[in-house]
Amino acid sequence: MLEGKTFYIHTFGCQMNVNDSEHVASLLLKEGARPARSPEKSDLILINTCAVREKSVEKLFSYLGRLKEQKERRGSVIVCLGCVAQLYREKLLKKFPYLDLVVGPPQYQALPLLLNNFLTEKRVLTEWKKSWVELPIVPETRESPVSAYVTIMEGCNNFCTFCVVPFTRGREKYRPLSAIIEEIKMLADRGYLEVQLLGQNVNSYRDPETGAGLPELLGKIAEIDGIEWIRFLTSHPKNFTLEMAQAMASIRKVCHQLHLPLQSGSNRILEKMNRNYTKEDYLEKIDLLKSLMPDISLSTDIIVGFPTETEEDFEQTMEAVEQIHFTNIFSFRYSPRPLTAASRMRDDVPEEVKIDRLIRLQTKQKEIQLALNQKLIGQKLRVLCLGRSKKGNLYSGRNEGFQVVNFTSPVDVSNSFVEVKITGCGPYSLHGELAG
């Protein structure tokens, strides 16, 4: 039985994975297990994985390699969860024979039963579910007492040629709006101030019971007393509509901040990526957003070195970045992922060229971010303080634009909204002091 057993969860990947880990921890707590501070002191070690990029898989393999000694010394049960579990399945057990369980995201509800059976046999559970599976979550497992992740959908139907998500998360499944509202009301009752709605393509959300879309969901959440900020990610440009932009602009609690992956500024590359929009389409949506919300903060994803990408293609991406002025970008070198259409293309951009382009892109973005941040010096911003900063005797939080703000305060203002006067900045964060 799991009663009294200790567990440790190591999470790789995005906010969706973090939220999944919170749900898995909730399942184990309900069975009487207790969280451990480190894998060395844990009876159960669970690794929640990400397969979006090859680097994430390499990190996982390195981490699993280090657990062999722990297995031999303590006999801990080792479980691989997440997208790599879904993608590689039996291969993981062959490469790491001391691994006990491989469980994909659609099968998390079976995890307590498997563990309670004392692992009489090694198991692989990675079958997809066609309908939404509701998992419990308890407050003790959430990373923050004021900002919460809330999953509203899972999976993707787009099949971008570089992306493994449809093969690891399956097709789109939508959580009932009533369940989402119930969870957020419980969060508000516990003092939460912000919710971040999660999904691989939140724009496509449709309530399976009423057909309501994301704009309607945002409106319902905004009616909940106590919740002050609402965010959502990730959005797909082809699904981002005028109605969604208007909802962002008109619903007071929805933050004027949007993550909208561009991936490339070249129409030729966008077509090879199967993104189903052009650079011009994307820029038109950006212009619309800026016209409705002049203060909007925009972030994006960009891949450099996609098969056949030329210097001209890359320069078009650079031009888009300079034109839009993103508050932040997440940029990566292309790496082929199993099962994707792009993995069957010749990876013909030399690695040194990919590295050079990534450096040039990140250097330009660093300049843009510094210039944007410098414009905020002297302003007073509303900040949700999330606690002590890792940088000295400071507090840290995020403004509405989701920028990191480190600031001084004579009193403890953790887990509350405060007004901060910006006194300085770097390219990646703002610095300030509690406004009097």
Query: Of 30-44, 99-113, 421-435, where does the model show the most confidence?
Result: 421-435
* Total residue count of the chain as it appears in this document: 436
Q: Which of 374, 389, 409 is the last residue of a domain?
A: 374
Q: How many CB atoms lie within 10 A of CB 38?
A: 10
Q: What percentage of residues in the chain have a pLDDT greater than 70?
A: 97
Per-residue pLDDT of 188-247, as tens digits, reads 999 999 999 999 999 999 999 999 999 999 999 999 999 999 999 999 999 999 999 999
Are 297 and 429 contained in the same domain? no
User: Looking at the domain assignment, is residue 158 inside a domain?
Assistant: yes
User: What is the CATH number for 43?
Assistant: 3.40.50.12160
Q: Compute the mean pLDDT over every residue in the chain, rounded to the nearest whole number.
A: 93
Q: What is the pLDDT of residue 87?
A: 87
Q: In the structure encoding, which two tokens stand for residue 240, read together?
A: 């981002």
Handedness of CA 325, 329, 331, 336 (dihedral sign): negative
Are 110 and 239 contained in the same domain? no
Would you say residue 146 has pLDDT above 80?
yes
Distance CA 407, CA 435 (A): 10
Q: Which of 103, 125, 147 is the last residue of a domain?
A: 125
Are 166 and 284 contained in the same domain? yes
Are 411 and 430 contained in the same domain? yes
pLDDT band with cut points at 50, 70 and 90 for residue 320: very high
Among residues 187, 184, 259, 248, which one has the least CA distance to residue 219? Answer: 248
Are 269 and 146 contained in the same domain? yes
pLDDT band with cut points at 50, 70 and 90 for residue 82: very high
Q: What is the pLDDT of residue 122?
A: 56
Distance CA 335, CA 340 (A): 11
Q: What's the domain count of the chain?
A: 3
Per-residue pLDDT of 404-434, as tens digits, reads 999 999 999 999 999 999 999 999 999 999 9
Angle at 317 between CA 52 and CA 294, to 5 degrees: 95
Q: Which of 357, 374, 391 is the last residue of a domain?
A: 374
Give the domain extent around 389: 380-434
pLDDT band with cut points at 50, 70 and 90 for residue 34: very high
